[in-house]
Structure 1
Amino acid sequence: MEIVETPPPREIMCVFSYPLPLSLQLSHSHVLSTDGFLVIGPTDPIVAVLGRDTMLPCSLSPAMSAENMELRWFRSKFTEAVFIYQNQREQKEGQMPQYAGRTSLVKDFLTQGVAAVRIDKVRISNNGQYTCFFRKGGFFEKATLEVKVAGVGSAPEMRIEGPEEDGVRVACTASRWFPEPQVQWRDLSGEKFLAFSEAHAQDSDGLYRVEASLVVRDSSAGNVTCSILNPILGQEKVKAIFIPEPFFPQASPWKPAFAVSLIFLCLLILGAGYFLKQEHSAKVQARQKQETLQQAQEEDRQKTEEAQKARGKAGEGRGWVRAELVLRGKADSRSRALGCSLQEDPGPLPRAGGSGDPERAAWLWRLG
């Protein structure tokens, strides 16, 4: 009798699948790809140099052929396609116009699950984030990768703009750099200058122009170096300029003498101003005193004139009285000598200050 061993019963799972909308598939990619594959992208950003070609690689894990899969590289949205590979050939429909004719698929390792898209002549617009998407049947997976575009522009141009404050201003300019470059100033010994001004601007192509200026105050600095550094590439371009010592204001021998002379002149002007003010005040006071004295003298003169007028009138009256007495005395002497008498006195003596009436005056004249 033949004994046949019966294998143990196996657990059988029946899976029913149905197509999901693409947006729903993308949001549940990890759920759907658990039993499928993973897509792995670069962990570090991809540095792409302006004007050169760059690669956007992605790979499958575990390794498997991707020849019959749908591959897509897109930007922030699924519909912003950079490159589409489907049915074992490139699909032009749905590709963004700025990538048309500039992208291709590297198929060398496609059977091993490694695919890469080449972008020719990198532009600034290629900077940013990308997503690579792999789909096989109802399973798909995606990975994100970042592209950092960088470009080295012109060498710096340096010039001496002239003296400023207590030093010399030096300018440094460079153009067509990306991203925004870093400016560094160094002296002859390699020490960095930390205090300087800097301005950035973008041209119509999105490239940066930088202009920096520095005031060098050490007349012994000699050579000053300006370097423009690309922070992504780590590349820099350097230019040095020599600043002659006579360019520095403090190196001129006349400056200290001028400063001392200026201070002395200011003090002299202040002193002269104070002296003139004092002199003016003294003159004003003297003039006021003189005017007061002249006014007092004028008042005294007027009083003196009035007093003299009053005395003059009083003296005239007394003069008439004295004259009449003298004449009377003479008349009496004549009458006694001749033995006759004069006619009767016409009246009393005149008052002081007056000549009397005309008859009396005539009588006095005859007596005389």
Structure 2
Amino acid sequence: MENCCKPSLLFHILCLLVLTQMTSLVTAKDFLVFGPSDPIVATLGGEAILPCSVFPVMSVENMEELRWFRTRFSEAVFVYRDQEEQKEGQLPGYSQRTSLVKDQFHEGKAAVRIQNVQESDSGIYVCHFKQGHFHEEAILELKVAAMGSVPEVYIKGPEEGGVCVVCMTSGWYPEPQVHWRDSRGEDLPASSETLHEDAEGLFSTETSLVLRDSSVRNVTCSTFNPILGQEKAMAMVIPEPFFPQASPWKADISEILKMMQVLLLLTSCLLMRAHSARLRLQWKWSHFQLEKDESQMTKEDALRTATWRKAHLYADWRKEHFQTWTFTLDPGSAHPTLVISQDRMRVTRKDTIVCLDGLFSVLGTKGISSGRYYWEVKLANGEGSKWILGVCREGVERKGFYFESPEKGFWTVGQSSCGYFAYVDRGRASLSIRQAPQSVGVFVDYDEGDISFYNMSDMSHIFSFHKASLSGTLLPYFRLMSGNVSMTVSSMACVSEGQEGEEGEK
């Protein structure tokens, strides 16, 4: 019996050793790549660092390829292959402005330095690390900003029963926010504002304010950069004789101007000191927050963040992880004033509409109750167009006057005379869209409670509902409120009406 057992024991030991070696071979070549979770902010004309690192930590010095590119793999910003920089395929705009930071190669970190940062550098970047047949990527976002000049404030003269004050500043990026405030910090409405963009993409503004109340004599013009979170301001004290209702303009104005110059000089000094103190406080607070966040964040949290950004930040990548949802419009759910095309893919409004219930909506024929799906809606907008699209819970109330809010079972975005918007639980949120969408992508991740909308014209993000309380079946929702507008469901995977009918019968 003893001799029979020995071969069996030896066999099991050999199998265990082989399995151990196979596991080590698999894990040795696998790695993950991640970059900063927050956007990288760079100053126009300065330099930007785009860092990426691998986990688990390993040297990247002998890695087969390190590549940084824009939205497409072929749009290379910098390529490092076989331990040498490769110029082939590099975008012309980066050939003389990029270099590789190698001092932390042995710690698993590599970065690309971009010098003389330009406005066109703003946007999405991808770092791609390859070793053998295995590769991994991470997404980074670069925001470019520039602080302009200190505002110049001067009195233009009497205007409309008051005194006109003008504020001028230049050299800002992106478009700055200009505000007038009184001595109590309350906003004053500007009477006019002119915005100009020069050949280098920098913005200059000229904003005027007409004061009719002589009690409001101390005004401040502040210019704010929304990306850097910084502002520059200039205050002015307007002497009472400048107000027409107090007294007429006097010929001998030199003494008043001298007094104003002294006041401006003193005010500028005080503002500069206060601004410097505020910057120091902001830096200390940011440094404290950074150390606190780094101490609390584990490597696993960073990997989850990188995975989330890869899946949610860019519409093209979402398409790779979402299935196309094919459906047609349901004529039975359509308002009588709507016209459904013969192929049931397009909806328009009749020429003359006299109706008070405000419906004008139609639903899709198929609903979603699990999984990840997306579809595209092409828009034909005319003058005064007002529309809403998205998803709604099956069986929601669509009669009378209502808002498409999540608490009512709607998750939508839309356009009105005031611009683009989305209804959220706390009310109506205004949306900032750089380019009017000709096609809107609707992405539904039912299991994660995520509903996102993308402008498929420029592949930019419009709005997302995160951690939404989804239940039941979600149906595609379309509402045409007013104006010359039509919506067409993009037939990315067309089905005939017969197929749609069969699915409906099922």
Q: Taking structure 1 as the reference length, what is the TM-score of the superposition?
A: 0.59
The answer on 1:140 being equivalent to 2:135 is: yes
* Alignment counterpart, residue 187 of structure 1, candidates 179, 182, 187: 182
The answer on 1:63 being equivalent to 2:63 is: no
* Alignment counterpart, residue 73 of structure 1, candidates 43, 68, 75: 68
The answer on 1:7 being equivalent to 2:2 is: no
**Distance in 2 (alpha carbons) for counterparts of 1:7 and 1:193:** 87
- The 8 Å contact of residues 241 and 248 in structure 2, kept in 1 or not, is answered as no
Amino acid paired to 1:6: L
1:111 is paired with a residue whose SS is helix
The answer on 1:38 being equivalent to 2:32 is: yes
Amino acid paired to 1:98: G
Does the C-alpha gap of structure 1 residues 44 and 33 become closer, same or farther in structure 2, counting only changes over 3 Å?
farther
2:233 matched to which residue of 1? 238
Does the C-alpha gap of structure 1 residues 64 and 34 become closer, same or farther in structure 2, counting only changes over 3 Å?
closer
2:245 is paired with a residue whose SS is helix
Does the C-alpha gap of structure 1 residues 193 and 115 become closer, same or farther in structure 2, counting only changes over 3 Å?
same
More strand by share: 2
**Distance in 2 (alpha carbons) for counterparts of 1:142 and 1:119:** 19
**Distance in 1 (alpha carbons) for counterparts of 2:204 and 2:211:** 23
* Alignment counterpart, residue 166 of structure 2, candidates 161, 171, 188: 171
2:91 matched to which residue of 1? 96
Q: How do 1:253-264 and structure 2 match up within 5 A?
A: none
Gaps of at least 5 residues in structure 1 are: 14-31, 255-368
User: Per-residue deviation at 1:211?
Assistant: 1.4
1:154 is paired with a residue whose SS is coil
User: Per-residue deviation at 1:135?
Assistant: 0.7
**Distance in 2 (alpha carbons) for counterparts of 1:7 and 1:215:** 94
**Distance in 1 (alpha carbons) for counterparts of 2:222 and 2:28:** 52
1:276 matched to which residue of 2? none
2:30 is paired with a residue whose SS is coil
Does the C-alpha gap of structure 1 residues 47 and 115 become closer, same or farther in structure 2, counting only changes over 3 Å?
same
- Structure showing greater Rg: 1
Amino acid paired to 1:175: S
- The 8 Å contact of residues 33 and 141 in structure 1, kept in 2 or not, is answered as no
User: Per-residue deviation at 1:130?
Assistant: 0.7
User: Per-residue deviation at 1:199?
Assistant: 2.6
User: Per-residue deviation at 1:152?
Assistant: 0.8
1:7 is paired with a residue whose SS is helix
The answer on 1:115 being equivalent to 2:115 is: no
Q: What is the CA deviation profile of residues 30-81 of structure 1, one whole-angstrom value per residue up to 9, with x for unaligned ones? A: xx99972111011100000112121000011111121222000011111111
User: Per-residue deviation at 1:245?
Assistant: 1.5
User: Per-residue deviation at 1:195?
Assistant: 4.6
**Distance in 1 (alpha carbons) for counterparts of 2:50 and 2:78:** 11
2:149 matched to which residue of 1? 154
**Distance in 1 (alpha carbons) for counterparts of 2:133 and 2:191:** 60
1:362 matched to which residue of 2? none
Identity level (%):
58
Amino acid paired to 1:57: P
Q: What is the CA deviation profile of residues 121-163 of structure 1, one whole-angstrom value per residue up to 9, with x for unaligned ones? A: 2111211111111111111111111101111111212222222
1:50 matched to which residue of 2? 44
Gaps of at least 5 residues in structure 2 are: 20-25, 250-506
**Distance in 1 (alpha carbons) for counterparts of 2:209 and 2:33:** 51
* Alignment counterpart, residue 216 of structure 2, candidates 200, 213, 221: 221
Q: How do 1:16-27 and structure 2 match up within 5 A?
A: none
**Distance in 2 (alpha carbons) for counterparts of 1:34 and 1:221:** 71
1:188 is paired with a residue whose SS is coil
What is the alpha-carbon root mean square deviation over aligned residues? 2.6
Amino acid paired to 1:48: A
- The 8 Å contact of residues 190 and 208 in structure 2, kept in 1 or not, is answered as no
Runs of at least 4 residues of structure 1 off by over 6 A? Answer: 32-35
Q: Taking structure 2 as the reference length, what is the TM-score of the superposition?
A: 0.44
1:6 is paired with a residue whose SS is helix
**Distance in 1 (alpha carbons) for counterparts of 2:35 and 2:170:** 34
Q: What is the CA deviation profile of residues 78-131 of structure 1, one whole-angstrom value per residue up to 9, with x for unaligned ones? A: 111111000011112221121112111111111221111111121112111111
- The 8 Å contact of residues 60 and 105 in structure 2, kept in 1 or not, is answered as yes
